[in-house]
Amino acid sequence: MEKKVSLKDIAHHLGVSVALVSYVLNGKEKQARVGAEMAEKVRRAARELNYRPNLVARSLQSGKTRTIGLIVADISNPFFSSIARIIEDQAKKLGYVVIFGSSDENDEKQQDLIEVFLNRKVDAFIISPAVNTEKQIISLQKMGIPVVLIDRYFKEQWVDVVHSNNHAAAEQAVSQLVRNGRKKIAMVAYDSPLQHMEERRAGYKAALEAGNLGFRPEWLVPVAYTRMDRDVREGLGKLLEPLQIDAVFFATNSLATAGLRRINEAGLKIPQDLALISFDENEAFDFFYAPVTYISQSLDTIGKEAVEVVVDRINGSRKAPVNKIVEAKLVVRESCGSRK
Amino acid sequence: MEKKVSLKDIAHHLGVSVALVSYVLNGKEKQARVGAEMAEKVRRAARELNYRPNLVARSLQSGKTRTIGLIVADISNPFFSSIARIIEDQAKKLGYVVIFGSSDENDEKQQDLIEVFLNRKVDAFIISPAVNTEKQIISLQKMGIPVVLIDRYFKEQWVDVVHSNNHAAAEQAVSQLVRNGRKKIAMVAYDSPLQHMEERRAGYKAALEAGNLGFRPEWLVPVAYTRMDRDVREGLGKLLEPLQIDAVFFATNSLATAGLRRINEAGLKIPQDLALISFDENEAFDFFYAPVTYISQSLDTIGKEAVEVVVDRINGSRKAPVNKIVEAKLVVRESCGSRK
DNA sequence: ATGAAAGCGCTAACAC
DNA sequence: GTGTTAGCGCTTTCAT
């Protein structure tokens, strides 16, 4: 059980002042004009005593913790854990550490997490916000804490945001189905008022218009996050048995996997009976007998940008809200019924 | 931009001492015999001024951060992100927050992470250790920092560990293949000396013995973590073309998905040409044309136990190293060739 | 029933 | 060149 060694210990050990040791160990020896031999002695002592700076103390003094609070819907969702990994790496590169929390799409949980993180004095937040949490974000802004939203966002753009071009990507996907001759195209989407979902739905409708197919409300299956499985089973099921559609567009990968299970149950053949495309990737898509066509978001870019934006804010650069839009691309495979 | 309010602000505002405010806000009013009206006034002021305790300051004073450092191979791996989610929830329940880092199975990265977390004074570590990092763990123990290992572990048991019954689970899986009439059963495993892998291999061999099949070294395909894809493609490929085996057991879900891709390329039919079973779950297994039989580890139990053990250690309970073994169970589906 | 003061470990302005 | 000092926000002992 080795004892903790502080600056004071080193100072005592060497018979010098704490300040001196601090200067040397922070590379401020020149601007504090510390003697070269002294500096060396200090460094050696620090090494020998196995000194570790206490960052808690430093944080108290500096008011900065070099910690970023990451809040997503669910860290176990591959979409978010992949982003978390990118964020972790980029943050580390810039000398930051990440603490995370899952909101389960619940505004109260999100508020709790924000409070816990605030008390711990995180320097900034990266949040994929739950529904109905504008006030929370605004409140953070009012406190002067940098926040950047990822993936999700609100209608008005008053905060930094990094997200994919949801409308265009969705439109492109659905157009692909149209081009492949599908005429009765359904969409399964969360009933969320969040802008990313809004735009995916809008992209779907736009593609239908463009294809002269017209939008039929009964083909837009709404799903509540808290009853995801049930809503998909029942809502989509109604369109499948008896079969009234010839294609489906899923707004997220979790909706798609739930939908695939239901489609299998109905005994439908992809893409003959039904063509399909999903927003977001999922390893499972590769192993479906008809590899699933999907929209690939650049998680890499989103994660990296988010960290960069937020660290810039911490450092006081940037003025107007940043709205960084990342290109998503369609990966065409068998499930959408394209002729090779 | 609201200003931060501290105990001192409240004290000033009320014309009382900082200590008094501290007592009240920490629920120590009775033992400090604070007047009831005074207490009420303090609480109201705190609310009105929107006071938030600065946990950094509290940590400096108490020497406790109520933070757990979680180190895994890769947080974007569903196995680890699922565990992370459990750990997050359990930690939150006990008043702890989690900071995480990915080691990429690299001992130096792991050491870096440990150092960063140490400097930030985490109260404890939960680690899924990389190869060759016994010294790191021992060193933590010597410093008196609680550590619990999850998933992986070392030969000697001198530290708290929570893991599945790897040997038995692997043996059970392979026995299933034997029972299904397979006689040429290969295994794809990491070449890691870590005990969890060691035991999965041992379980495989034990089941072969028990089935009077004998162990053939050329059927144990070794894979290096850093060249996972290549090693699986080549190593397993050699056994597939031409086909020399009638079953494969994969030691992890990532090995299995890589293996499945290779098997598909070889145009083999599961389970007719080849039966298979994987250690660990993967959503993709559900969508393979022959749903994959797998060993399901109880991530829930592992995560919860890990937090409990480590928090107990923080609180000074427990004496001897804990070795908590969690039952894993075989989920039999089509891929292993069982007759229904 | 309340306050004064020390101290957690560190930084930085200022003094000598 | 090096030391002294104040202070970050909090807890807690000891006075009163």
Q: How high is the pLDDT of residue B338?
A: 84
* Distance of alpha carbon B328 from alpha carbon B280, whole angstroms: 9
For residue B340, pLDDT over 60 is answered with: no
So what's the pLDDT on residue A339?
A: 62
A157 or A147, greater pLDDT: A147
Q: Which of residues 55-114 of A touch strand C (CB under 7 A)?
A: 57-58, 60-62
Q: What is the mean pLDDT of chain A?
A: 96
Q: Angle at CA B100, nearest 5°, toward B99 and B106? A: 145
What's the mean per-residue pLDDT of chain B?
96
Distance from CA of residue B340 to its chain's centroid?
34
Residue A290: per-residue pLDDT = 96
Nearest to B286 among A2, A99, A284 (CB): A284
pLDDT of A32-68, one tens digit each?
888 889 999 999 999 999 999 999 999 999 999 999 9
| Beta strands A329-331 and B67-72, pairing class | unpaired
- Give the per-residue pLDDT at A174: 98
pLDDT tens-digit series, residues A186-243: 999 999 999 999 999 999 999 999 999 989 999 999 999 999 999 999 999 999 999 9
What would the pLDDT profile of A148-199 be if each residue is shown by its tens digit? 999 999 998 999 999 999 999 999 999 999 999 999 999 999 999 999 999 9
* Cross-chain residue pair B67–A99, CB shorter than 8 Å: yes
Cross-chain residue pair A261–B1, CB shorter than 8 Å? no
- Other CB atoms within 10 Å distance of the CB of residue A214: 8
User: A215 to chain B, minimum CA–CA distance in Å?
Assistant: 31
Does B59 contact chain A (CB < 8 Å)?
Answer: yes
Which residues of chain A make contact with B283, given a CB cutoff of 8 A? 257, 282-284
Distance from CA of B140 to the nearest CA of A (A): 9
Report the pLDDT value the prediction gives residue A338, as an integer from 0 to 100.
83
Instruction: Show which of residues 240-269 on chain A sit within 8 Å of chain B, judged by CB atoms.
Output: 257, 260-261
Please report the residues numbered 132 through 171 in chain B whose beta carbons come closer than 8 angstroms to any beta carbon of chain A.
142-144
In this predicted structure, what is the pLDDT of residue A60?
97
In sequence order, the 6+-apart residues with CB closer than 8 A to the CB of A255 are A188, A189, A190, A223, A228, A232, A278
Q: How far apart are CA A183 and CA A33, in angstroms?
A: 78
Res B188: pLDDT: 98
Q: Could you tell me if A101 lies within 8 Å of chain B, comparing CB atoms?
A: yes
Copy the structure tokens of residue A253.
Answer: 């990968």
The reply to whether B53 touches chain A by the CB within 8 Å rule is yes
Q: How far apart are CA B274 and CA B290, in angstroms?
A: 11
Looking at residue A226, the DSSP 8-state letter turns out to be G
Confidence of residue B29 (pLDDT cuts 50, 70, 90): confident
Structure tokens given for B118: 């140490």
A65 CB neighbours in chain B (<8 A) are 56
Model confidence at A1, in pLDDT bands (50, 70, 90)?
low
pLDDT tens, residue by residue, A244-294: 999 999 999 999 999 999 999 999 999 999 999 999 999 999 999 999 999
CA B76 to chain A, closest CA, distance in angstroms equals 5
Closest nucleotide (C1' vs CA) to B29 is C1
Residue B26: which nucleotide is closest by CA–C1'? D11
Residue of B113, B109, B112 lying closest to B126 (CA atoms) = B113
Q: Which residue is nearest to nucleotide C2 (CA to C1')?
A: B20
Q: In chain B, which residue's Cα lies nearest the Cα of A69? A: B99
A32 CB closer than 7 A to any strand C atom: yes
Indicate yes or no: strand C within 7 A of the C-beta of B331. Answer: no
Residue B3's pLDDT band (cuts 50, 70, 90): confident
Sign of the C-alpha dihedral, residues B319, B320, B321, B325? Answer: negative
Q: Is A36 an interface residue toward B (CB < 8 Å)?
A: no
CB contact under 8 A, B56 and A289: no
How much of chain A exceeds pLDDT 70, in percent? 99
Question: Omega into A242 within 30° of 0, i.e. cis?
Answer: yes
Least confident range of A29-33, A68-72, B80-84: A29-33
Which residue from B110, B115, B100 is spatially nearest to A51, judged by alpha carbons?
B115
Burial of B168 (0-12, 13-18, 19+ CB in 10 A): middle
pLDDT bucket at B317, cuts 50 / 70 / 90: confident
Contact assessment for residue B249 and residue B219, using Cβ atoms and an 8 Å cutoff:
no
Contact A164, A252 (CB under 8 A): no
B284 Cα to chain A: minimum distance (Å): 4
Specify the pTM: 0.96
Q: Is the pLDDT of residue B1 over 60?
A: no
**For A94-98, B37-41, B121-125, which range has the lowest pLDDT when averaged over its residues?**
B37-41
Q: What's the confidence (pLDDT) of residue B242?
A: 95
Report whether pLDDT(B38) > 80: yes
Q: B52 contacts in A (CB within 8 Å)?
A: 115, 118-119
CA–C1' gap, A14 and C3, in angstroms? 38
Chain B residues inside the 8 Å CB shell of A88 = 75, 100-102
Cα–Cα dist B301/A202, whole Å: 43
- Note the pLDDT of residue B339: 63
Mutation for testing the B interface, residue in A52, A68, A103, A120 having most B CBs under 10 Å:
A120
Nearest CA in chain B to A263: B287
Angle, alpha carbons B173-B177-B182 (nearest 5°): 155
CA closest to C3 C1', residue: B17
pLDDT of residue A2: 64
Residue B297 in contact with residue B330, Cβ under 8 Å?
Answer: no
**Beta-carbon separation of B289 and A286 below 8 A:** no
Chain A environment of B84 (Cβ under 8 Å) = 75-76, 81, 100
- In whole angstroms, D14 C1' to B310 CA is 36
Mean pLDDT over B84-88 rounds to 98
In terms of Cβ atoms closer than 10 Å to its own Cβ (0-12, 13-18, 19+), residue B47 is: exposed
